[in-house]
Structure formats: C-alpha cells, structure tokens
C-alpha cells in the first residue's frame, strides 16, 4: 500500500512543501469530506482513471488530452503529475494551490486544435472545463464511496460543494454542487459522448504502465477494472465497455479490502499527514476517528 501511495504523487523535479508555513489554510478545511477522500491512494487511482474515461468520451476533451499531453508516451509521469495536482489542490497552503492552478490555466490557454470530426476546441473553454471538473469530482467520490466506505447523501453533496472554489480557479463556471447537479450535468453531456479507439488504447496503456512495483502489477489491473466499474451503467453502455472490462463478483471484495486498508495507512511524509501537522493536528488525525472542525 505504501508503494501505491508514494508512486501516485512522486514526480521528479517537482517538490511541494505541504508542512509549511505553519497555520496556512488550504482551499478545503481539515474536517471536509475532501480531506477524508483524497487521503486514500486506492480511491485516488480508481477515481482518476474513471474520470479520464469519461473525459475521453467527449470528442473535444479527448483531442485535447490525447494530442497535447504525454499519456501515450509517458503515462507514468502524467498520472503522477495529476495525482500531485490533486494533492496540492486539496492539502497544500492556499497560496501554493492558487499558484499551481494559475500555471495550469496558463498552459490550458495555449491548447487549441481541431477534432477528427472537424470541430475546433480550446482547452480553456468553460464548457469543457465544467465537464472535466464534473468527471474528476465524480470519479474520486465514487472511488471512495464504492471501494473504501459508503458516504451519505449529505456528505456526497458536501464533497461536490467543497470543490467549487478550486473549480472556479481552474475556470469551471458551472461545476456540480451536489449529486442532483451532477446528474443534470451527465444528462446534458450524454448525447455528446461516444466510444473511441482512444478509450481502449488508454485502458491498455494504464494496465501495462509501470505505475506500481512489478509484484503489485496484477493489483494495478484490478484497480483499472474498478475504474470501469464506477462509471454509470449508461456511460459504460454508451462507450461500449462490457461487463468483462469491469470487476467480477469475486474481485470486488479484494479491491474493497485494499481500499479499506489504505484508509488507515499513515505515511508521515505524505501530503495529508504533512498538511495536518501544518495546521496543528497530529499527523494521524485523518486516519482515526476525529471530531469535525472548521
């Protein structure tokens, strides 16, 4: 489990200090649902892959991701950068998170192109950013809800609402603020989603990429199947993903056991623990029962 946690956010040449300055608040509060969810590396892996599957289903987002990122050539670094960005957004001091997001937005502003179908796209299009935000929130939430611990309807709504400040910084103007708004966003986007060979290529890349140590590679393939599992039934059908692409009935308990074990895995040098210390909390505060704080 330590290998999963470390490998998801270890990026050569990128260092973020989550432990200082002392007392500096993050975009989300320690007692938030976001802090609870993002500390879990299993939910992070499953949710991240599931989110990308939904993103790649939208033609303009697919072209932007596939033509302007390193998913095909260097998927490991790309995934680790994405994992680190999630950690910074949730746990880093607010100023650090805002600076990182501003840098991402500047890079997005330069991404332009045309899809295979002839439609022009821009990575900073608010409509596309809304979709990316919706898929990310859905993926991480469902990764935790399905394979770590069920979240109440109220907590799910809180999770979506907590993401709003960061979403606005990224340029998403209408990101979902609740389960109900997420359903509306899915219904509005569904007609635009389509299957693509890119989705199959992405799944194959993520299954084979050396993200985890060799001995854990079979578990990595299980986590990729779990990512397919968290997609809504209508989305799997629309993307022509079959039951064989997801988990079998005997595999789901294995992934749940991994997720629940990871929820109590304290890594004192990891962003969640360092952020707790920065705010005057014990490093294991997130990994045990604790009262909610503002």
Q: Is there a domain that residue 46 lies in?
A: yes
What gap in Å lies between CA 207 and CA 15, rounded to an integer?
Answer: 27
Q: Is there a domain that residue 292 lies in?
A: no
Phi, psi of 114 (to 5 degrees): -135, 135
pLDDT mean over 52-59:
96
Q: Is there a domain that residue 287 lies in?
A: no
289: confidence class by pLDDT, cuts 50, 70, 90: low
What gap in Å lies between CA 254 and CA 249, rounded to an integer?
Answer: 10
* Residue 208 domain boundaries: 2-281
pLDDT mean over 170-175:
93
**Which positions ≥6 away from 205 have C-beta within 8 Å?**
71, 72, 75
pLDDT per position as a tens digit, 234-243:
999 999 999 9
Number of domains in the chain: 1
Q: Is there a domain that residue 106 lies in?
A: yes
What gap in Å lies between CA 185 and CA 129, rounded to an integer?
Answer: 12
3-state secondary structure of 281: coil
Q: Is there a domain that residue 192 lies in?
A: yes
pLDDT per position as a tens digit, 74-116:
888 888 888 899 999 999 999 999 999 999 999 989 999 999 9
Q: Is there a domain that residue 288 lies in?
A: no
3-state secondary structure of 107: helix
Q: Is there a domain that residue 148 lies in?
A: yes
Q: Is there a domain that residue 291 lies in?
A: no
pTM of the model: 0.92
């Amino acid at each position: 489990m330590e290998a999963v946690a470390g490998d998801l956010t270890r990026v050569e040449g990128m260092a973020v200090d989550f432990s200082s300055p002392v007392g500096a608040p993050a975009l989300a509060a320690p007692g938030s649902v976001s802090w609870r969810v993002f500390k879990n590396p299993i939910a992070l892996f499953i949710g991240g892959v599931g989110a990308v599957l939904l993103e790649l289903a939208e033609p303009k987002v697919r072209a932007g991701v596939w033509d302007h990122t390193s998913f095909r050539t260097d998927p490991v670094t790309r995934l680790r950068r994405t994992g680190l960005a999630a950690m910074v957004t949730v746990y880093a001091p607010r100023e650090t998170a805002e600076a990182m997001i501003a840098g991402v937005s500047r890079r997005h502003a330069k991404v332009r192109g045309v899809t295979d179908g002839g439609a022009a796209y821009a990575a900073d299009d608010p409509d596309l950013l809304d979709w990316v935000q919706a898929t990310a929130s859905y993926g991480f939430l469902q990764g935790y809800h399905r394979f770590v611990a069920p979240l109440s309807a109220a907590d799910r709504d809180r999770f979506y609402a907590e993401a709003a400040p960061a979403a606005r910084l990224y340029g998403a103007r209408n990101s979902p603020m609740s389960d109900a708004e997420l359903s509306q966003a899915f219904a509005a986007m569904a007609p635009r989603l389509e299957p693509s060979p890119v989705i199959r290529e992405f799944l194959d890349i993520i299954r084979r990429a050396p993200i985890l140590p060799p001995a854990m590679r079979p578990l990595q393939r299980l986590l990729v199947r779990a990512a397919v599992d968290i997609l809504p039934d209508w989305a799997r059908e629309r993307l022509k993903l079959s039951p064989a692409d997801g988990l079998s009935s005997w595999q789901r308990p294995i992934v749940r056991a991994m997720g629940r074990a990871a929820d109590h895995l304290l890594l004192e040098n990891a962003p969640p623990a360092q952020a707790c210390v920065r705010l005057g909390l014990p490093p294991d505060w997130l990994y045990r029962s604790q009262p909610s704080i503002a």
